[in-house]
Amino acid sequence: MASPIPVYIETARSGGLSQKAGAAREILKNCTLCPRRCGVDRRSGETGICKTGKAAMISSFNAHFGEEAPLVGKKGSGTIFFTHCSLMCCFCQNFDISHEGHGSPVSNEELAAIILAVQQEGCHNINLVTPSHVVPQILSAMEKAVDAGLRIPIVYNSSGYDRLETLRLLEDVVDIYMPDFKFWDPDVARAACGAPDYPAVAREAIAEMHRQVGDLQIDADGIARRGLLLRHLVLPEDLAGTRSVMRFIYEAISPGTYVNIMNQYRPCGNYQKVPALGRRITAAEFRKALQDAREEGIFRLDRI
> Which CATH number do you get for residue 217?
3.20.20.70
pLDDT band at 4 (very low <50, low <70, confident <90, very high): confident
97-119 per-position pLDDT tens digit: 999 999 999 999 999 999 999 99
Does residue 163 sit within a domain? yes
For residue 251, give every residue at least 6 positions away whose Cβ sits within 8 Å of its Cβ, in sequence order, or none.
Answer: none
CB distance 111 to 54 below 8 Å: no
Residue 2 clears pLDDT 80, i.e. is over it: no
Please compute the mean of the pLDDT values over residues 73-91 and round it to a whole number: 97
Does residue 151 sit within a domain? yes
For residue 216, give every residue at least 6 positions away whose Cβ sits within 8 Å of its Cβ, in sequence order, or none.
Answer: 70, 176, 224, 226, 227, 228, 229, 257, 258, 300
CB distance 21 to 170 below 8 Å: no
Residue 304 clears pLDDT 60, i.e. is over it: no
Does residue 295 sit within a domain? yes
Question: pTM for the full model?
Answer: 0.97
Domain count along the chain: 1
Please compute the mean of the pLDDT values over residues 193-222 and round it to a whole number: 97
Does residue 204 sit within a domain? yes
Instruction: Show the domain range for 79.
Output: 7-50+58-301
Does residue 12 sit within a domain? yes
Does residue 1 sit within a domain? no
241-289 per-position pLDDT tens digit: 999 999 999 999 999 999 999 999 999 999 999 999 999 999 999 999 9
Does residue 170 sit within a domain? yes
Number of helices (H) and strands (E) in the chain: give both, helices first.
11, 10
Q: State the DSSP code for 75.
A: T
Count other Cβ atoms within 10 Å, centred on residue 264.
11
Alpha-carbon span 220 to 182, nearest angstrom: 31
Does residue 2 sit within a domain? no
